[in-house]
Amino acid sequence: MTAQTPADVFEAMHDLMHAYRRRMRAAVHAIQPDLTHNEVRALLFVGRHPMRTQSDLVEHSGADKAQIARMLNMLEERGLLERVPHPQDKRSRCLALSPAGQAVCEAMRTSRRSVTQQMLQGVAQEEEQQLQALLMRLMDNLNE
């Protein structure tokens, strides 16, 4: 067996994320086949952060304002998203999931939990916590 290098660790992380994304894409396709990856991410963002604005989504995603506007319009036309008046600023609109959007997000969360449980099978809770701490430290190192 050859010695592993730090690059091997990140290659394994890369492979793991590809396998995870492949499983999640299949799950999303089974739930709502016409959603793109970015649309799924937008719906999940709105589901996790209700009553946020389009600007918040632009900032979170790093995508172009016009691209986000088009995507949100399409999600609204499909009945998955609603724009509601901002509680403090009546000139602004907040993003909210419609009942259909909530159902899609809940199905995606259920799939995510299932895939995550399978991925963490045989991993002790202490090891999971260590992994979480290590990953957060790596993110902090990159964000410095």
> pLDDT tens for residues 2-56?
677 878 888 999 999 999 989 988 988 998 889 988 899 899 999 999 889 889 9
- CATH number attached to the domain at 6-143: 1.10.10.10
pLDDT computed for residue 61 by the predictor: 87
Q: pLDDT value at position 86?
A: 82
Q: Is the pLDDT of residue 92 over 90?
A: no
Q: What is the pLDDT of residue 129?
A: 95
Where in the chain are the domains?
6-143
What is the structure's pLDDT at 117?
93
Predicted pLDDT at 2: 67
Tens digit of pLDDT for each residue in 62-90?
888 999 999 999 999 999 999 998 888 77
Q: What pLDDT does 88 receive?
A: 82
Answer for the pair 31, 107: CB distance below 8 angstroms, yes or no: yes
Task: Write the CB contacts of 43 (distance below 8 Å, at least 6 apart in sequence).
Answer: 35, 75, 80, 81, 97, 101, 104, 105, 108
Instruction: Give the pair of three-digit tokens for residue 94.
Output: 């907040």
